[in-house]
A and B are shown apart, each in its own frame.
Chain A
Amino acid sequence: MTYEDKLARFNAHIDGGGKVEASDFMPDDYRRGVLKFIEMHANSEIMGALPERECLPQAPTLLRKMSLAAKIQDEVGHAQLLYRVAEDLGKSRSAMYEDLLAGKSKFHNVFHYPVQHWGDVAIIGWLIDGAALVTQAALLDSSYAPYTRVLKRICSEEQLHLRHGEHITLMLASGTESQRDLFQDALSRWWLPIIHFFGPRSNVEKDLLLRWKVKTRTNEDLRQEFLDRYVPKVLELGFMFPSPVPVESTGHWIVKDQDIDWAPLEAVKKNRGPETTRRLAARRDVYDRHRWVREVLAAPFTYAA
């Protein structure tokens, strides 16, 4: 069978709702695209641990200290699972990790931004995890089957994170004036990055990941689902949106394209966000100082006493 024949069969398989396993034939562009996509997801989990980690020492109660640590731990666990799925597509975890540290690969825009206080933990746990859950739930039906299997576990853990974030939010919202200010301040800083999180409008003609159903829905569709679900809740708690302010129209909460300033996202995509350099350097520092740990783990060792 020629490559063209295989490709035609692959396309027909996908069009018919078929799934792809790691050992199946797949076009090079599919393999590259899926690898890059899952690698970015894995990178985002490991880099996503950092903003919350920066708030962890200041957790206001023992219970919050434990639960936030457990949540960050889940995220590191997600990275581990996702790197394994990505590895099967032909790139080693160490190569992915080194590319991340060298700034050669990407991670989600929201993890390029600074955190300042406990209000940020509420925003990350509720709205950012809420946004992530909308996008991840849409991927549960992805054509790349090994990805969907780990996403099932990730999504169920993310549901818990969301409740944790929602609870922190409700405590701030029903708290003192200064606790409410923490949430409002964080919302004002994070709103634009959250809108960016879904990306600009998808180019359905050119997006191969949509063509091959690795992604099943467009960026604007996912953003709309998020806005409709969360904007009323935020308003109900009495908080105010900064620009781009969502407006209600025909049963939907709309953010107009022309109101979105995309410049900050463009900078982040080039790994030039406000915290990109510092966070990557901090990770690189730990990595460089602990080459010996990797050598210990690579050395032969028997566990017998």
Chain B
Amino acid sequence: MSDSLAALLTALADDELIIGHRHSEWTGFAPHIEEDVAFSSIAQDEIGHAAAYYTRLSQLGHASDADRLALGKDTVDYRNAIICERPNGDWSYTLARHWLYDAADSVRLEALESSADHELAALATKMRREERYHLLHADTWMKRVAAGPVEGRTLLITSLGSAFAESAGLFEPIVEEEAAIEAGWLPAPSHELRARFLARTAESLEDWGLPAEVHAGLDRSAEFVASSSGDLIAGRDRPGKDSPVASHGALGGRRGHHSEDFKSLWDDMTSTYRSNPGAAW
């Protein structure tokens, strides 16, 4: 059993669970019928990936089963990035976050394919096959909205501003990151993955004719700054107008610090599980 591998798996699993949970809130409710069906598949995939990571984690002796790791823990034990827990807002925010999340996830999975944990490496290979379609889906929407009528394009640019700032949380170092790198569980440090993510997303934005300020705003907003308590916090937040992003830092998720948004999500998500501890459903 390795604590740093467990920390890595927990961050991966919680990201997938919480983004999958948010995505699934569109199931039956998306602004377009065909898209409702498509986006629900993506939500189901993400929850399935979470289940796979939790199962790996349970094999390491951390808890009896995946459901307990997903639903039977306190808010401070979740290690997901804060961007995953933000409410869906409108479709433009959902789309911006979906694109950024899947771009970040593909960078991460590419690296994890050479993890020293062979089970994790095999999972990464399998998941990349599905994530390819997620990214294709997100790219197609991004291109269409970017090239489309002005109202949608304007909304997307605003939403990208706030989502981009908070995407930094996806690359916040995990606890015990140095040990995870040392052991080869995590083949590249988070800051390096983030650099790859920024290079790729910048290229796409340019290709699609979306303004570079969206991207430029990021570096000021998401520097890793040490606070007086010694925690790393976001240097600055720049939530866009009408965005669901509250005035709260993008960082902290990897250490179990979450936004107010997470509290209500957690209450809802774990309520049935908590109502009958240990029951089978």
Contact = CB atoms under 8 A, between A and B. Distances in A.
Interface in A248-294: 282-283, 286-287, 289-294
Contacts of A171: 280-281
**B interface, by DSSP: helix, strand, loop or mixed?**
helix
Interface stretch (B37-45, B122-130, B179-187): B37-45
Nearest to B151: A292
A296 interface: yes
Contacts of B148: 295-296, 299, 301
A49 interface: yes
A72 interface: yes
B84 to A, nearest CB: 14
Contact of B272 (A58, A63, A176, A294): A58
Nearest to B145: A296
B158 to A, nearest CB: 12
- Residue among A175, A295, A296 with the highest chain B CB neighbour number at 10 A: A296
B272 A117 contact: yes
B25 interface: yes
Interface in A1-57: 46, 49-50, 52-53, 56-57
Contacts of B28: 46, 49-50, 52-53, 56, 72-73, 75-76
A62 B66 contact: yes
Contacts of B281: 60-61, 64, 118, 168, 171-172, 175, 179
A73 B40 contact: yes
B279 A77 contact: no
B33 A46 contact: yes
Contacts of B272: 58-60, 117-118
Residue with the greatest number of chain A CB neighbours at <10 A, chosen from B66, B144, B152: B152
A285 to B, nearest CB: 10
B230 interface: no
B276 A80 contact: no
B172 to A, nearest CB: 25
A286 B151 contact: no
Contacts, number: 153
A66 B152 contact: no
A284 to B, nearest CB: 12
B91 interface: yes
A295 B152 contact: yes
B32 A293 contact: yes
B40 A57 contact: no
B67 A80 contact: no
Contacts of A179: 276, 279, 281
A140 interface: no
B44 A66 contact: yes
A138 interface: no
A60 B37 contact: no
Contact of B70 (A57, A62, A70, A291): A62
A58 B152 contact: no
Nearest to B36: A76
B155 A292 contact: yes
Given A72-B27, A73-B37, A76-B36, A61 B271 contact: no
A79 interface: yes
Contact of A66 (B33, B48, B145, B147): B48
A53 B151 CA distance: 29
Contact of B149 (A63, A66, A296): A296
Interface string B37-72: 100110110011011001000000000001100110
Contacts of B275: 178
A46 B273 CA distance: 28
Given A178-B275, A292-B151, A295-B152, A65 B24 contact: yes
B139 to A, nearest CB: 9
B280 A56 contact: no
Nearest to B65: A61
Contacts of B280: 171, 175
Contacts of A291: 151
Given A57-B269, A171-B281, A179-B279, A70 B31 contact: no
11 contacts: A49-B28, A57-B21, A57-B25, A61-B71, A72-B27, A168-B281, A290-B90, A293-B152, A295-B148, A296-B148, A297-B144
Interface of A: 46, 49-50, 52-53, 56-66, 69-70, 72-73, 75-77, 79-80, 83, 93, 117-118, 168, 171-172, 175-176, 178-179, 282-283, 286-287, 289-297, 299, 301, 303
Query: Which 10 residue pairs are nearest across A and B when measured between Cβ atoms?
Result: A49-B28, A290-B31, A53-B28, A73-B40, A60-B272, A60-B281, A296-B148, A292-B152, A62-B51, A292-B151
